[in-house]
Amino acid sequence: MMGVTEKSLPPSGVRATANTYHFITQWRVRATLDEINQILGNATDLGRWWPSVYLEVKELAPGDARGIGRIIDLYTKGWLPYTLRWQFRVEESRHPFGFSLRAQGDFVGRGIWTFEPDGESVKITYDWKIEAEKPLLKHLSFIMEPIFSANHHWAMRMGERSLILELARRHAATDAERAAVPSPPPTTFGWLLPRR
């Protein structure tokens, strides 16, 4: 029914630099392509349904009618008590089958979301190839590599859980059913974050 497969891959089988990462995450969720596009294509709503990772999301530029050129500013965190500031720009739309983005800031690289119909489900693949530019991650990569990888995998597991809960809310037939859907996983170490 639903599941997640994740793997960390060094680019071309060799790590080009110590701070280069290549992650491929696969989810399979009971949904339609339209639902997945509405949820994952609406970046400004990430903080509502995936709050464990997305602390603040702002649209800086709307892009064209297909979303190409859209720029999103992000303040994110994983399980560990460090935060990341970065932006992405949508570079390609393959609607309804996904989109590609270019990241800059504490992350520099590209992400490719791919959506494939699979019976009553959608197979979602996220191919994320980045260089970590945050000084903590960049200069201590020999120590941080396994920690950063584990942090990424945790964040994507929370994304899958949060997506399943968001779909359950959308599929609920009544207000009572909708109210019975649990809240998405919250951020960890929230007490360490500056008050906004």
* Burial zone of 88 (CB within 10 Å; 0-12 exposed, 13-18 middle, 19+ buried): buried
Domain 3-191 in CATH: superfamily? START domain (3.30.530.20)
Q: Which long-range contacts (CB under 8 A, 24 or more apart) does 57-61 make?
A: 60/87
Give the Cα separation of 82 and 137 in Å (integer): 10
Helix (H) / strand (E) containing 87: strand 83-93
Confidence at residue 114, expressed as pLDDT on a 0 to 100 scale? 98
Asked whether the whole model's pTM tops 0.75, one would answer: yes
Query: What is the total residue count of the chain?
Result: 196
Give the Cα separation of 117 and 16 in Å (integer): 34
Q: Mean pLDDT for each 10-residue chunk of the chain (196 residues)?
A: 44 54 96 98 97 97 96 95 94 98 96 98 97 76 78 96 98 97 90 60
Q: Any idea where the domains of the chain sit in the sequence?
A: 3-191
Instruction: Report residue 165 as tokens.
Output: 């809960």
Confidence at residue 147, expressed as pLDDT on a 0 to 100 scale? 83
